[in-house]
Structure 1
Amino acid sequence: LLAGIWAELLGVERVGRHDNFFELGGHSLLAVRVLVRLTEALAVELPLAILFAKPTLADLALSVGEVLNGSGAQAAPVIMPVGRDGALPLSYSQQRLWFLSQLDEDSTNYNIPLGWRLQGRLDRVAWRRSLDRLFARHEALRCTFVAGEDDPQVQILSGDRGLPVVEHDLRDRPDAQAALLDLCQEEARTPFDLAREPLIRGRLIRLADEEHVFLLTQHHIVSDGWSMGVLVRELSSLYRAFEAGEDDPLPPLAIQYPDYAAWQRQWLSGERLQRQAQYWRDTLSGAPARLALPTDRPRPAQQSFAGTSVPVVIDQALTRGLKRLSRQHGTTLFMTVLAAWAAVLSRLSGQDDIVIGVPTANRRRREIEDLIGFFVNTLAVRINLSGEPSVSDLLERARRAALTAQDHQDLPFEQVVEIVQPPRALDHTPLFQVGLAWQNNTVGSLDLPGLRVEAAGEGLDQVKFDLELNLGEQGEVIAGTLGYATALFDRATIERQCGYLLALLRAMLADAEQPVRELDILPAEERSYLLEELNRTEADYP
């Protein structure tokens, strides 16, 4: 059973009893999906740590057998469809986002923009039909949110109305490229009305007979990063079928997002809710309210979401070394980079107690893997660097912090904030101000017959936190971006921080037993400037 699950999720033909899950290409997100499959097959829930402790197939099988022979943790009940006649509740995460939107109804902070340039003959009828079918298929995309007497409620729009798309024809415009840029910016900066309109919309912009740009914008309250992958896959399948004159090829969905929201409120209650709440209360008790990073400008009285990013590339040799270090210490690449990022933040702030926000897909049920909806959760991962830890000590601390947080990921971040009750202020996010996102779940690209598809459109220049490190494996390297709030930092400062991270990762490889605080992360020029140039105090006197 385990070998079959591994082969499916890892994309390998054969799995041997002594094969190691992580050496076959496994990572944290795939580990969660393995446990989801086991839950479905054996009706038992297992902690994520079991796969990290027993990463070889035979050892894991023995551990699972021991759990089955014991009492074991019973799996959560199956998600069942609920009636659509009465009031439908929001999920916990949706409710928090709805509340935030009431504070600033014109905000675009939670818009998710996508854009594609389509070159070739676009079958406009098949494209339109594909968009409408996607809209009808996923109730999440047809949800609106209205204020009730006590709590907000979900109302579902008819699937017959179709996905709203505005068309523009720029074929005869001499300033077509400038007009395209204006349309992209206008689209990205147009807010949604959560109570009245579909929270997904498109624009089809025609530049030539065989060149279009399609912009698709969604509100985060109905979608997330994993959903982008579902959307791209299904849109590709639908267009291929409709363009060829075939019927809808997608299997019907057994449940919809409102069913999950109702299930979540029923399941996350009682003893289970108390257990998760107590974990976060204990874990985050006494955590610093704010990370005291040195900034280039004073922090504004109200948090600004304006931001941009610099590229980050961990080269092939360093990536290979980090994989080797991770195997030696039983961590994933994400955990190893998490440890290094915490160490850099500790150096910059002078604090030993670091809390980093880590998004998690939160798709621990097989029934919801193919749904579009707002499932993602954010975990406040706390790493303590006090007591002179060595590199290997820090890796173990990061590993333990990440695994226990993952095992308690069901409690929405919004409820964690309410439980911990950190000091609140308008100038920074509660619990943490720095994030680390590991991109295991790639969106993929549209696969449309007869068309060459490239990314297009203007993304929003926004960040949710002071610093946002977004990384993932891209072939033989680890690459991504370091996003930053432009109200606080200059680009040169962020580029220096990227250099610190790369230098610390290299130093970790050199000797895993050396104390973390002794790792040298300053480049020679900066060290010379700090220690020599700033200390040249000699002056001429008469």
Structure 2
Amino acid sequence: MTFEEVLEYVSVADVRLTGVDGTLRYDAPAAVLTPELMAGLRSYKGELLRWLAGPADEREVTRAPLSAQQNRMMENVERTGNSSGWNVGLRLELVGDLDVAALDAAVDGLLARHHALRARLGRDGDTRIQRILAHRPVPLPVVDLTALPDDETRTRAEAACRAVVEPAFDLADEAPVRYALIRLDRNESWLVLVVHHIACDGWAISVLLRDLAAGYRSAHTGGTADFGPPAAQCTGYARWQRDQWDEPTRRRRLTHWAEHLGDGPLTLDLPFDGPAPDRPTGRAATHRFEIPDRVRLAAQALARARGATVNAVTAAAMAVLLARLSGQPDVTLSVPHANRSPRAYEEAVAVMTTALPLRIRTAAATFGELVDQTAAGLFAGIDNLLPTAWIYGQFLGPAGGGMPSGVMVSFAFQNTLDMRLELPDLTVRVRDVPTDAERGALMFGLVPHPDRLDGYLEYPLDRLTDETARRWVAEYVELLADACADPDRPLPALDRHPAL
């Protein structure tokens, strides 16, 4: 093991090192004291003692370049002025007999286990890097509202929740995670958890909730909430990604994207309620809705009949809506793909989702044929996966990189997001807490559950009123219902929506 590998192993394997009068001491579970670790501790005794003598809050255990996804996220952060719109906030509403000590241990176990939650992101010269600091146990912050009158408790709890979720992160000097426990009364508490999007995606949120539940159950029954490192970390993914594509593969895949996207515009001319202001407020709103059961079941049936997915069916319907709104027959959606391959990265907490540009040409004869085209585009896009900036770079001139200017619509079918959480002696409800800060022009998402299909539209208040957002969503649901009910009916000729 190299010195850096020793530090990285120690940071995630519950190995506690101390230096006293020139002696290096360790305390760790027997299972992690491998012969390789013991040899490393002997070989690097002097370096480890000097490392331990430094400031505890500056001890670095490893560093790595940023992944392509992290670089793109940093570009978004810089473009939006470090907006809190990239904060992923959750509120875990816990009703019952809460073991606060077990919850404290479980949250601390997350920090010890996952590098992404201890990262600092900055620059080394012209290169963006991530530095992973050593784990330091920090007591779970508690906001105790149990002494307040009942009519004040909810209002104060909501304010305390917003105080955790809303502040932007200083990614260079602050870990990309924040949390607090809010005690409303003896039988109800909220655990508020917010993670910057540069450290997580939907899949990673599911991993964090599973790990939190496992840690709580273990600590609650007298065990340890720290159950070792995952198979892979965000740093390992960034290093692996640099060598993933050889030049022939890269060129072949770029050729696919050039043919798939063609020469048409990548952005949409949508009928917003007003022009983009010179000084945008950066405020956004979210309209939530539920796809009616009959429409959900019809979309599932059509997907089965065409050998496609519900993602393809619902994306095709979104393309038809956007084509009608814009008057543009070719629509490009930004479609997030979970991208959890190889399997070693299934347990990793990192942002690994890749936004694939999906061109849908709505001049298909029938909606069923449009679903076929959409499904083929999705499968081919996954087969030709590349970092998003590389794909767009070939269309943006010699400088390349980044995102095209103008309005793009993100269409996320979030079938990898699992927000179920089961804890002993507790009833748990997990809610997402948006910050009402703008992230992009339009973000449309569907979240499937076993018995329902939820949806949301996130939109900038500078460009779109609540009334228009609701009207667009209602038209989408109606369009999806009609198309799934009669997928073999020819699509009407495209004409920009006369009422918009």
Percent identity between the two aligned chains: 29
2:412 counterpart SS class: strand
From 87, 93, 111, the equivalent of 1:117 is 93
Q: Which residue of 2 aligns with 1:444?
A: 419
From 453, 456, 460, the equivalent of 1:478 is 453
From 59, 64, 73, the equivalent of 1:88 is 64
Q: Which residue of 1 aligns with 2:122?
A: 146
CA distance in 1, matches of 2:118, 2:163: 23
Uncovered stretches (5+) of structure 2, i.e. residues with no partner? 1-59
Q: Say whether 1:396 aligns with 2:375.
A: no
CA distance in 2, matches of 1:480, 1:505: 13
Q: Which residue of 2 aligns with 1:467?
A: 442
Q: Which residue of 1 aligns with 2:190?
A: 213
Contact 1:289/1:423, CA 8 A, preserved across alignment: no
Q: Which residue of 2 aligns with 1:311?
A: 288
Displacement of 1:482 after TM fit? 2.5
Query: Compared with structure 1, are the counterparts of its residues 87 and 492 closer, same or farther at alpha carbon in structure 2 (3 Å cutoff)?
Result: closer
Displacement of 1:85 after TM fit? 7.9
1:173 counterpart SS class: coil
TM-score w.r.t. the length of structure 1 is 0.74
Q: Say whether 1:331 aligns with 2:313.
A: no
Q: Which residue of 2 aligns with 1:189?
A: 166
Counterparts of residues 357-396 of structure 1 (less than 5 Å): 357-386=334-363, 389-396=365-372
CA distance in 2, matches of 1:457, 1:309: 12
CA distance in 2, matches of 1:423, 1:344: 34
Contact 1:463/1:485, CA 8 A, preserved across alignment: yes
CA distance in 2, matches of 1:454, 1:285: 45
Contact 1:507/1:520, CA 8 A, preserved across alignment: no
CA distance in 1, matches of 2:294, 2:217: 41
Uncovered stretches (5+) of structure 1, i.e. residues with no partner? 1-83, 531-542
Q: Say whether 1:176 aligns with 2:136.
A: no
Q: Say whether 1:294 aligns with 2:271.
A: yes
From 453, 464, 472, the equivalent of 1:497 is 472
Displacement of 1:91 after TM fit? 0.8
- Per mean C-alpha deviation after superposition, the further-off stretch among 375-384 and 91-100 is 91-100
CA distance in 1, matches of 2:192, 2:374: 39
Q: Which residue of 1 aligns with 2:321?
A: 344
1:366-420 Cα offsets, whole Å, 9 max, x none, are 000011111111111001123x6222321222122211112222x2212323232
CA distance in 2, matches of 1:249, 1:166: 19
Displacement of 1:251 after TM fit? 5.8
Q: Report how many residues are paired.
A: 435
CA distance in 2, matches of 1:107, 1:114: 18
2:124 counterpart SS class: coil
TM-score w.r.t. the length of structure 2 is 0.80
Contact 1:319/1:477, CA 8 A, preserved across alignment: yes
Q: Which residue of 2 aligns with 1:136?
A: 112
Give RMSD over aligned pairs. Answer: 2.8
Query: Compared with structure 1, are the counterparts of its residues 173 and 312 closer, same or farther at alpha carbon in structure 2 (3 Å cutoff)?
Result: closer
2:148 counterpart SS class: coil
CA distance in 2, matches of 1:169, 1:422: 56
Displacement of 1:209 after TM fit? 2.9
CA distance in 1, matches of 2:223, 2:392: 50
Query: Compared with structure 1, are the counterparts of its residues 85 and 273 closer, same or farther at alpha carbon in structure 2 (3 Å cutoff)?
Result: farther
CA distance in 2, matches of 1:431, 1:280: 20
Contact 2:61/2:133, CA 8 A, preserved across alignment: no
From 480, 494, 517, the equivalent of 2:492 is 517
Q: Which residue of 1 aligns with 2:103?
A: 127
Query: Compared with structure 1, are the counterparts of its residues 126 and 113 closer, same or farther at alpha carbon in structure 2 (3 Å cutoff)?
Result: same
- Per mean C-alpha deviation after superposition, the further-off stretch among 346-355 and 466-475 is 466-475
Contact 1:164/1:202, CA 8 A, preserved across alignment: no
- Per mean C-alpha deviation after superposition, the further-off stretch among 436-445 and 166-175 is 166-175
Contact 1:164/1:201, CA 8 A, preserved across alignment: no
Q: Say whether 1:281 aligns with 2:258.
A: yes
